[in-house]
Structure 1
Amino acid sequence: MNINTTNELLAVPTGPLQVSDVPPNSVDTDDQDIYFSLIIPTYKERDNIQNVVRILSQTLDEFIPGDYELIVVDDDSPDLTWEVAQSLTEEYPQLRVMRRQQERGLSSAVVRGWQVARGRILGVIDGDLQHPPEVLTQLLTKMSEGADLALASRHVDGGGVSSWSVVRRFLSRGAQVLGLVILPGVLGRVSDPMSGYFMVRRSSIAGATLNPVGYKILLEVIGRGNVRNIGEVGYVFCERQQGESKVTWKQYIDYIHHLVRLRLSTGRVGRVKQRINFPLDRFVRFGLVGLSGVFVDMVLLYLLSDPSTLGLPVTLSKLIAGETAIFNNFLWNDAWTFADVSTRQQEWHQRLKRFVKFNVICLAGLLLNVVVLQLVLNFLIPNRYIANLIAIAVATIWNFWVNLKLSWRVTDVK
């Protein structure tokens, strides 16, 4: 029987959200290879977690005794859900607990749990008993029959919802229809793409870089994984008995964002991106930041140089406005465009180093802008406005690519 012989918290994985093709080595187990790992993502589930672990353990002990593990991944709940779960590990040796303090989000919590899981089959279930645990045995049966992914669905025989309002039913179905329009190749394969209750073979998602938004990890698994055979089992979605619901309007916005991003990264645009190896999403953010810099530059130039305001010389005003715009762009790029790198290098001297590089590269980009403008204007297109647009485009690509390679890169990380 595979058991956890220590009640220490699991270390939180870092880096890309990728699941390895083989279970990770673990110093606290004798046998690394187990059949099933079930992730329970939690946030403020103190009142539910003990009952969830008890019921899941009873269910799986009867079906696959000793060949499973439960992994609670808690997003540092203020009600100390992780601490309650950790206190249960002596009574339930198959239970392991992870406390995340730097990341947030249900979908990424699931993947982080899968990254430390030892099972050949990886699953996820809510931590609030809205997913009936007894359905696990039916899902595991589907997997044993050859499915790559087994899904608990509300929209097949035996499925449904217990007491949803008309509005919530409308929103759920509307989200599904919208998904079918935006991403038919993914959502069209299952009857309940909004489900968060499923299991998948490790081999089907091994090596794929998952990039989920919000709650709907299933979309990532089907869209980016190698999932061929899908089995579905009906279940009735129950209302929670303890704790508070996490469903808000933000989840629906995240869902739409996720659909669009998955569409762009897996469709024709995605294939083009893979061929040219160009980070289009990051470039779009860089471009939007650049537009904000143009606004800052124009406003400051007016306030500093206009006779009705300060009336400073135009050259001096432009220097101040331009440098302020560069500083504005650096702050936004550091906090948004390249946040995955900057959050790992937060020392003041590291930020200063990035800013100096950014400044020099932008000044070089300005020089490049002028050169391209003159070349296009004199030899290709004798129209100053079209030539200027081409020059701006070339300088923007230059600024982005060189900053990507030199300013925001992982260095000096212990």
Structure 2
Amino acid sequence: MKTNSSSSLLTVPTGLLKISELPPNDTSTSAESIYLSLVIPTYKERDNIKNVVSILSQLLDESILGNYELIVVDDDSPDRTWEIAQSLMTEYPQLRVMRRQQERGLSSAVIRGWQAATGNVLGVIDGDLQHPPEVLTQLLRSVEQGADLAVASRHVDGGGVSSWSVVRRLLSRGAQMLGLVILPGVVGRVSDPMSGYFMVRRSAIANATLNPVGYKILLEVIGRGKVDQVAEVGYVFRERKEGESKVTWKQYIDYIHHLVRLRLSTGRVGQLRRNVNFPVGRFFRFGLVGFSGVFVDLTVFHLLRTVINLGLTRSTILSAGVAIINNFLWNDLWTFGDISQRQRNPHQRFKRFLKFSAICLAGVILQALIINFLYNVLGINQYLAKLIAIAVATIWNFWVNLKLSWRVTDVK
């Protein structure tokens, strides 16, 4: 163990990134333990930390007075964030501070904080107030009601982003779609796999050796832990008021690296125990709509090829586009009608159409690649090749639409 220079600071754990089954120094099963340990990883958050600690302390005092701890884990910030946090400890008795001088990285900072934590429930929240603190009470309630993991999500009812650019929105959704392809059994369990705001029971990740890449740890918790019941709570991601954003292209690259490493690793990642609540009725309706789209697609494809004498690739793309419009209208009215009824605004419907079209566009590209390969390379009949391509694209469309949901977020 490494000892810090000040006795009021937490000792920084070393060795494997593994959470013990029992809290540190808890050798007696009869000993009373803290319910929640909330880790706040920081780096250059001098202007935010006092406000963060004050707001979180007030909120948790109202919910679970005396039954929680806040753990600030600072990566030796040059603005001495750890020192500001340390000065607050006399005012906030539930506050503990760790200064890391030998390690760097948000994910490992969270785990080191959890290793020093005494709580039965372990949580994480950003130190820049972009995660609304008031959502903590909803996450706590979800855990109290039996969830092993409670995740704050931008992609469920009540969630959204305040003023992200189109590029950032596309990157976020693109990263999720990529995750669904590479690691569907992990990424598909939550609507916001890149969330950094959640709570997990200690027992769900105890004794699992965590090996995160980059700044997001949720995938690691789901992939290597024993997480059965998952709950999600909507939250609106806020823009930073103080300090500078730490989002860079490297973080998206790290995310992809993390997905691939989890995919290739052995152990529980490929043997997840999970409660499956498959929406059979919705799948049946989606299938029927897709079946109607097949006839629309083939009819238009036939007309374009025989009447207009259009090329194979252009006929495939145009006929699929008409089928997409057909499928969206029926899915919006019938398959996902229960959700659409709560979002009747024409602007919201148009956003749903764009979202659906973007997902299907990938399916159209997939169709074009498959049909050209089957027809031009393998010599399969063009209509049979088209049917095979449609089948593959339909599976893609259902899976991604199911996981990304049918709703849109309008943040005021």
Query: Which runs of structure 1 show a deviation greater than 3 angstroms over 4 or more consecutive aligned residues?
Result: 266-271
For residues 253 and 163 of structure 1, the distance between their equivalents in structure 2, rounded to whole angstroms, comes to 23
Contact 1:179–1:187 (CA<8 Å) still a contact in 2?
yes
Q: Deviations over 1:204-260 (max 9, x none)?
A: 000000000111100000000000000000000000100000000110111111111
Which residue is 1:138 aligned to?
138
For residues 81 and 88 of structure 2, the distance between their equivalents in structure 1, rounded to whole angstroms, comes to 11
How many residue pairs are counted as aligned between the two chains?
264
The correspondence of residues 67-82 of structure 1 with structure 2, limited to 5 A, is 67-82=67-82
What's the % identity of the aligned pairs? 81
Q: How far off its partner does 1:267 sit?
A: 7.0
Which residue is 2:60 aligned to?
60
Q: Deviations over 1:248-298 (max 9, x none)?
A: 011011111111111111479989xxxxxxxxxxxxxxxxxxxxxxxxxxx
Structure 1's unaligned 5+ residue stretches are 1-5, 272-414
Pair 1:269–1:142, CA change in 2 (3 A): closer
Which residue is 2:48 aligned to?
48
Pair 1:118–1:198, CA change in 2 (3 A): same
Matched, 1:93 2:117: no
Contact 1:7–1:86 (CA<8 Å) still a contact in 2?
no
Counterpart code for 2:205: I
Structure 2's unaligned 5+ residue stretches are 1-5, 272-412
Q: Deviations over 1:56-81 (max 9, x none)?
A: 00000000000000000000000000
Counterpart code for 2:135: V
Matched, 1:112 2:112: yes
Q: Deviations over 1:152-176 (max 9, x none)?
A: 0000000000000000000000000
For residues 72 and 201 of structure 1, the distance between their equivalents in structure 2, rounded to whole angstroms, comes to 19
For residues 165 and 131 of structure 2, the distance between their equivalents in structure 1, rounded to whole angstroms, comes to 18
Q: Deviations over 1:379-400 (max 9, x none)?
A: xxxxxxxxxxxxxxxxxxxxxx
Which residue is 1:242 aligned to?
242
Which residue is 1:19 aligned to?
19
Q: How far off its partner does 1:25 sit?
A: 1.1
Which residue is 1:284 aligned to?
none
Taking structure 2 as the reference length, the TM-score comes to 0.62
Contact 1:24–1:118 (CA<8 Å) still a contact in 2?
yes
Q: Deviations over 1:293-340 (max 9, x none)?
A: xxxxxxxxxxxxxxxxxxxxxxxxxxxxxxxxxxxxxxxxxxxxxxxx
Contact 1:46–1:80 (CA<8 Å) still a contact in 2?
yes
Pair 1:100–1:32, CA change in 2 (3 A): farther
Which residue is 1:9 aligned to?
9
Contact 2:224–2:269 (CA<8 Å) still a contact in 1?
no
The correspondence of residues 96-245 of structure 1 with structure 2, limited to 5 A, is 96-245=96-245
For residues 268 and 207 of structure 1, the distance between their equivalents in structure 2, rounded to whole angstroms, comes to 12
Counterpart code for 1:101: Q
Pair 1:267–1:121, CA change in 2 (3 A): closer
Contact 2:75–2:99 (CA<8 Å) still a contact in 1?
yes
3-state SS of 1:152 partner: strand
For residues 72 and 18 of structure 1, the distance between their equivalents in structure 2, rounded to whole angstroms, comes to 19
Counterpart code for 2:127: G
Contact 2:69–2:96 (CA<8 Å) still a contact in 1?
yes
Which residue is 1:254 aligned to?
254
For residues 47 and 63 of structure 2, the distance between their equivalents in structure 1, rounded to whole angstroms, comes to 26
Contact 2:224–2:268 (CA<8 Å) still a contact in 1?
no
Contact 2:131–2:197 (CA<8 Å) still a contact in 1?
yes
For residues 140 and 215 of structure 2, the distance between their equivalents in structure 1, rounded to whole angstroms, comes to 23
Structure showing greater Rg: 1
Counterpart code for 1:116: A
